[in-house]
Amino acid sequence: MRSILIVNDDGINAEGLIRLAAIAKQLGEVWVVAPAEQQSAASHAISLHNHIDVYPHAFPIEGIRAFSCSGTPADCVRVGSLSIMPHKPDVVLSGINAGLNVATDIQYSGTAGAAFEGAFQGCLSIAVSEEVNSTGEIAEKYLPELLAELMEQKLGYGQIFNVNIPGCPLSEFRGILRDRSVSHGMFYRDSYKKLSDLPNGGVRLMVDGKYNEDCEPDTDFRAVIENYISVGTASNIN
């Protein structure tokens, strides 16, 4: 039986993690190692100078062994595959993230970072993200078959599958687009606004993003804003 390690960056109690585990249970033996706290935008960071605490965690799906981890999403992959599980998993699934991870957002994503760590550990790795406030209908209907399909494929070293699910109603969903390239665009064009002045000449800033949908055709970004599931590969090996 295929062994599957599930991780995320939204934390061990995140709804998306539980939904992904329920789907994955149909496809193999499932283990969960996820951050004890929210770790969004952790990218591929790992803990080198801090200890990592791991605890068994009561999981709401019977038959799944789950653990919370004080480290980053990438730490969860390393701890899970190198220490918790009796052997490295065949597949690492990261998600379902609350929020899309397309275009330049991939470089910041803890969801993608965990999947990249899985790839570096020699596992087929798939990042799954979904638009915030989605009803989950599209994932429920299409994700089981799509994951089963992707698990039968092979990728090059350092590559992951990156799946993004639009938040539109099921009635407006247009299908699955595969082989999407990574857009050079961005959902938010960022600047920083000043919140206040601080003593000794300091200043307190907050990121201020302006929503944007300008993007190239045939990309992950274009697919999701046009109500398709985007499936593509990504790599952080130059």
Query: What's the pLDDT tens digit per position in 62-111?
Result: 999 999 999 999 999 999 999 999 999 999 999 999 999 998 888 888 99
DSSP 150-165: HTT----TTEEEEEEE
Among 83-92, 101-110, 136-145, 199-208, where is mean pLDDT lowest? 101-110
Element (H, E) at 102: none
Q: Read off the pLDDT of each residue in 28-48 and give the average, rounded to a whole number.
A: 87
Percent of the chain past pLDDT 90, that is, above it, reads 77
Element containing residue 192 per DSSP (H, E): strand 188-197
**Average pLDDT over every residue of 150-177:** 96
Lowest-confidence pick of 27-31, 39-43, 67-71, 117-121 = 39-43
From residue 14, give the alpha-carbon distance in Å to each of 40, 153, 161, 217.
12, 28, 21, 33
Question: What does the pLDDT read at residue 236?
Answer: 76
pLDDT, average across residues 131-147? 95
pLDDT (mean) for 206-218? 84
Q: Residue 193 in contact with residue 205, Cβ under 8 Å?
A: yes
CB 107 within 8 A of CB 74: no
| pLDDT at position 77 | 97
pLDDT class for 238, splitting at 50, 70, 90? low
Q: In the predicted model, is pLDDT for residue 171 greater than 90? A: yes
Q: How far apart are CA 55 and CA 69, in angstroms?
A: 7
